[in-house]
Amino acid sequence: MVARAEEAPQTPAPVNIATAAAAPQPLSCAADIGATAAAERVKLCRNVSPATHPPCNAANSCALIEDEIARSCALFDGKGDPMPGCDPAPKSMAAAIAVVQRYYAAINARDYGTAWAQWGDDGPPNQTLQAFQAGFANTRSTRVTIGKVEPGDAGAGSIYQTVPVTVDSQLQNGTVQRFAGDYVVRRVNDVEGASPSQLRWHIGQATLKAVPAP
Q: What burial class does residue 192 get, using C-beta atoms within 10 Å of its C-beta: 0-12 exposed, 13-18 middle, 19+ buried?
A: exposed
Euclidean distance between CA atoms 36 and 204, whole angstroms? 35
User: 18 Cβ partners below 8 Å, 6+ apart?
Assistant: none
Contacts of 117 (CB under 8 A, 6+ apart): 67, 123
CA dist 20 and 85 (Å) reads 36
Domain residue ranges of the chain, discontinuous segments joined by +: 17-211
**Angle at Cα 178 formed by Cα 171 and Cα 204, nearest 5°?**
100
In CATH terms, 17-211 corresponds, of 3.90.1640.10, 3.40.190.10, 3.10.450.50, 3.40.50.300, to 3.10.450.50
Q: Is the confidence at residue 160, as pLDDT, over 50?
A: yes
The tens digit of pLDDT for each residue in 127-152 reads: 999 999 999 999 999 999 999 999 99
By the 8 A CB rule, do 36 and 65 touch? no
Q: Give residue 199's pLDDT.
A: 86
Burial class (CB in 10 A: 0-12, 13-18, 19+), 137: buried
Euclidean distance between CA atoms 59 and 109, whole angstroms: 12
Supply the DSSP symbol for 172: T
Which of 52, 83, 57 minimizes the C-alpha distance to 70? 83
- Please state the rounded mean pLDDT for residues 96-112: 98
Region 28-32: mean pLDDT is 98
pTM value surpassing 0.85: yes
Whether residue 38 contacts residue 32, with contact meaning beta carbons closer than 8 Å, is answered with yes
